[in-house]
Each structure stands twice: as structure tokens, then as C-alpha cells.
Amino acid sequence: MGVYKSAASPLYGRSGMLPEFGTDTVHVPGTPDWRCIADGARWPCEAGRQRLTEQHADRPADLLTLMKASAERACIDLGADEPAAREAIHRHMVDWVPT
Ligand SMILES: [Zn+2]
């Protein structure tokens, strides 16, 4: 997937969707606000977490990697420069991942 650069990066497909979360529109993050495009909740929403867990049932380490990378991107998109703000984003996006 390459390195995150900016909102103009080719990582961003149509409608600000991130291709690594699949091509359907069920509980995936919209950018740059990182809210679920299905229900508007902070992503990952409850249904999004369940979906991600099912998708990565046989490779939980990949899910952890994906969510850490996503949290880094969200920090940039959301302008979270302060350590506390970054930590809050990481907690929300990474801490739920089953290990
Ligand atoms: Zn959702």
C-alpha cells in the first residue's frame, strides 16, 4: 500500500474511501474525518469492529498492523499533534483489537 503522504495520495479512492478496507460500503471509514460512512460513528464503530474481526479471524496480527497504521493516518487527517490527542485516537482504534 505504500507510505501515507497526504490527502491527495492515491491511497484515497473515490469518495475518500480507503481501498484496504474493501470496496463495499459497510462500516468502513470515510476520510478525512474517520467516521463510519454507514452510521457516522467514530470509526471503527461497533459493527465495523465486528466486521474487521471476522475478516481477520485467521490473521489477527494483520488486523493489529492495519489498525495501528490507520490510527497513524487518522492522527494526521484529524490534526492530532498533541500526545494526549494522539493517544486517544490510538486507544479508540487499536486497543479493542483482540490479541
Ligand atoms: Zn458503522
Q: What is the pLDDT of residues 25-47, one digit of tens each?
A: 689 999 899 999 889 999 999 99
Could you tell me the residue range of the domain that residue 42 belongs to? 14-94
CA of 99 to the centre of ligand 1 (A): 22
Q: Which of 43, 38, 37 is nearest to 73 (CA)?
A: 43
Structural domain total, the chain: 1
How much distance in Å is there from the Cα of 5 to the middle of ligand 1? 26
CA of 92 to the centre of ligand 1 (A): 14
Within a domain: 20? yes
Residue 42 lies in a domain: yes
Q: Smallest Cα–Cα separation from 80: which of 70, 91, 92, 72?
A: 72
Q: Measure 12 CA to ligand 1 centroid, in angstroms.
A: 19
pLDDT for the residue numbered 99: 78
Task: List the beta bridge partners of residue 43.
Answer: none
Domain membership flag for residue 4 = no
In a domain, residue 62? The reply is yes
For 56-99, write each residue's pLDDT tens digit.
999 999 999 999 999 999 999 999 999 999 999 999 999 999 87
Ligand 1 centroid to residue 44 C-alpha, Å: 7
Q: What is the pLDDT of residue 12?
A: 43
Q: Ligand 1 mean position to 96 CA, how many Å?
A: 15
Output b/e per residue, 39-72; b: 16+ Cβ within 10 A: eeeebbbeebbebbeeebeeeeeebeebbebbbb
